[in-house]
Chains A and B, each alone.
Chain A
């Protein structure tokens, strides 16, 4: 048997120990090992290395667990106490956005409504343009803006929306 022949089986020993060997190779390695002394020695030395690696026992500071758990509790407390503040801030921001959106929507609807009324009054009914403009502004745009705003500000349950 030449050196390369043994080397290929010794490579298989490494693969077997690392857990990368195929079932067929494992079988062929097993058969080879039953008769080959150098490869048996190779496997035995490898197993001694692995056994040696398991022969270390590190001392762990007995206070380490307590220290870690105390740090974890403190961190968890800080996180939970920071949460209500964050929620409050978030809620306030949402209210601000809602108010802004309500204003924008109310204004848009009133302008669109007023433009419609103005068009009807001047084009279809042939009313005086300047008079209609003032009337629309006073009697339509402002009240409709306020009414829309009130409607948007009313909680949905009071408007009958589930």
Chain B
């Protein structure tokens, strides 16, 4: 029997707009959330989201339907975001991916996390999260917000599973002191 992901893959291969519309409805918010965690800012994210969906329409046949859609979709979004950052005039060609993301943080706008915090714990984390190494923040968000496995995160960020695990441990180690010595 055809699985859900296989149906999606078939729809993407056929450039079926009805399938794409359903995916937009289903994944739009998560895509926005992921791009914010990747870039550490909110402005420009909507354009990247649109660009991501257009790329999905254009190259949808590269999704084979054998695994979940999220890692593939986030990988597409990540490539779009990094390409967009590289096109910025201030960006040096010698910069690596980390530098690309870090350079996007030099913004005077209020942190998107401060604006998006809905709980007390989130408010306490907002500042440290914004200041956190982008690669650590991305790994934490993909693991604990998007509920992806380490293998899936590894496929998105193009780093070994051990590196992803290390980023998660170090990210947790940076944020944990906020809550240490307090009752649960």
Contacts and interface: CB of A to CB of B under 8 A. Distances in A.
Interface of A: 11, 14-15, 17-20, 41-42, 44-61, 64-65, 67-69, 71-73, 75-76, 79
B144 A64 contact: no
Contacts of A72: 17, 20-21, 24, 53-54, 57
Interface stretch (B62-70, B74-82, B91-99, B121-129): B121-129
Nearest to B164: A18
Contacts of A61: 46
B122 A48 contact: no
A45 B49 contact: no
A11 B168 CA distance: 12
Contacts of B178: 45, 48-49, 52
A46 B180 CA distance: 9
Given A51-B121, A60-B32, 8 more contacts: A17-B172, A18-B150, A41-B180, A48-B184, A49-B178, A58-B116, A68-B28, A76-B15
B128 to A, nearest CB: 10
Interface residues of B, number: 55
B176 A44 contact: no
22 contacts: A14-B169, A15-B165, A18-B143, A45-B180, A45-B182, A49-B176, A49-B178, A51-B119, A52-B178, A52-B179, A53-B125, A53-B141, A56-B113, A56-B122, A56-B145, A58-B33, A58-B112, A59-B115, A61-B46, A65-B28, A68-B50, A72-B21
A15 B58 CA distance: 39
B121 A71 contact: no
Contacts of B120: 55
B49 A68 contact: yes
Contacts of B57: 72, 75-76
B143 to A, nearest CB: 6
Contacts of B124: 52
B121 A18 contact: no
Contact of B176 (A11, A46, A57, A67): A46
B73 to A, nearest CB: 13
A58 B32 contact: yes
Nearest to A53: B144
Nearest to A50: B144
Interface string B32-47: 1100100000100010
Contact of A52 (B20, B122, B161, B182): B122
Nearest to A54: B145
A3 to B, nearest CB: 15
Nearest to B174: A49
A50 to B, nearest CB: 5
